[in-house]
Structure 1
Amino acid sequence: MACRHALAKAFASMTVTRRTPDPPLPAQSVFTTTKPEEAHAFSCAQYAEAAVRFRGSREAFRFRHTYRSAGRFAIATAFHTMSIEGVHEPPERLLVGRVLAGRFECDTMGHTIRAGPGDVFLAARPGEPFTARWDTVHMQIVQIDHTTLAEVLGANPAGPPIQLNGHGPVSPAGARLWMDTVDYLATSVLPNPEVARSPLVLANATRALAAAVLTVFPNDSFDRCTPKDRTDANPFVLRRAIEFIDSHLAADIALSDIAAASRATGRAVQRAFRRHLGTTPTAYLRDARLHQAHRDLTNGDPANGDTVTAIAARWGFLHPGRFATAYRRVYGRSPRITLHQ
């Protein structure tokens, strides 16, 4: 309780300059064609160059591709009605696939993936060529920058990349987590103008997706803790981290940024917060932003167009329902009551 009161007191004394939020919505597009060559050219431009062989009738061919990009990640669906085999150049981003209907096969680095409806798989990694085969298939495809994985862990994005050691989820629960995360971003975040215009929301969405990759697919992130991470978890690191967070609440900051400002590793920063405050740096950041949202709700006016969803998004909260729950837990009432009182 003393820790909670100390945090609340610190938040109450903060002054933050609000951004003027009116950035463009995430890019979205729909491409359709009845010509296999056009579909191939489009796919090469969108994902990776490939040499392909078509099989089957071209007369009834259909291709439809929907795409939403949020900068460092993108979510797409593709429907393709011909049999095809293609040898692809290495992609620039991680590609995670999910078969919605049909069958999909992929060979990469000596490993063969055979996927059917509902299967989630890591299709390709930067630097690795791959061969893909399918008949008629309907797929969801997620692209994400590989560097976001390091940022989520608090590692240097310019350092050695996080190694993903397998192509399938670690468990059925992992596959469900991936599907739930992507579906929520695709249906409730990216299409919602009130939410998707917030740079903090898109940054948090990127990190949520990167965290899902690390949770769902086997990787070497747990092997990177060193003895120095433990000895650096001291009050001086904690103080520098808190000062950086408190002065950058409206900015897109990741654990890697906090670690750099603290002159320590991400794991050392996490240990310092747990040891001295009983929390985590991301939880501290979230609580501080919740306080700023409370101030905006208190000073807001529905007559001027202020809404709970927009204010929550301004401070990076992806899910309005979870924001309302967190707000009620701290302030004892719903955010709607605060805004309208």
Structure 2
Amino acid sequence: MEYFNDHKKLFLTALGLFLFLTILVAILPALYNQKNNAPLPQAEALSGDALQGKAIYVANGCVACHTQQVRNVDMDKVWGERPSIAADYASLHRTDLWRNTATVMGTERTGPDLASIGTRQPSIDWHLVHMFNPRIVVKQSIMPAYPWMFEVKKVPAKGDVVVNVPKEYLQGQEGKVVATKEALQLVAYLQTLKQIKLPDGTPNLEFLYKREKKNESGAPQEQQLDGTALYAANCQSCHQENGEGLKGAFPPLKGSKVVLDENPELMVDIIMNGYSGRVQEGFPPMPAIGTNNNLTPEEIAAIMSHEKTSWGNNAKKVTSADIKKLMDLVKLKSKDTPATK
């Protein structure tokens, strides 16, 4: 009892136990992880603008709603090609002596995961429109707008990056919307968020708890897939729910010659390899959605059939067998030389 009545011994013992547990549970594992994990070989250091963009990302609270971690569960396959690993975060360092790096991994996924947003959505045009007002590209979005990162100029200066914002979102202001340096830096950071491929020979990481696809009706699998939902997940943010796109930003699929073409080869080529044939018209290059999002022939067939028969389009639907043959035909084409009309 004398020990418990001596407050000095009692508090020194508690302090010693606290320090011991801190070293054992926090410091030693951290040093071990730092020693045994390094950035993947193909990982590149952030450029100056991207580094500033990361600071803007943190300062504006993006970490509160967006994660940067693809969990190893099947439902997370839409966010990346593989589950995230420790090496993905090995390049994160302290901001300075007094501040640790922000937890960009995030703790809540109110908005989409951004671990591979640079692959899923590489277009600077889309990101700038989305930041100015998310409802322009995603009607149901609850993300706040960031109009203070933009200026409205009657006559943009040489070198200004003009954002194609529909007039109804300018609230009566006249002129062109121009991105500020901060907006461009933030986009530069978002474009760097890409999952790096694992070194050759590294075992593939599996997604767990896969859902079994039942086909009790005996109908072809593409008929079981929801083309409308797949379109919404992969295409709608640019081409819009009504298929009309955004004037001056993203081309329409409604009435599109490519969509209505009875030969679906060009459409498959665009989906798998991307497309830059309308840059001269002011439309940004389309990313290789099919390749980036690992879409299967059945999923692509469902999306294409939805586009070919919606919004007044009356083209013939496609089958997964046809799409599989065309995917094999166009897969060797480089993304650097996309198809042109």
- Tell me, yes or no, whether TM beats 0.5: no
Richer in strand (by share): 1
TM-score by length of 1: 0.24
TM-score by length of 2: 0.24
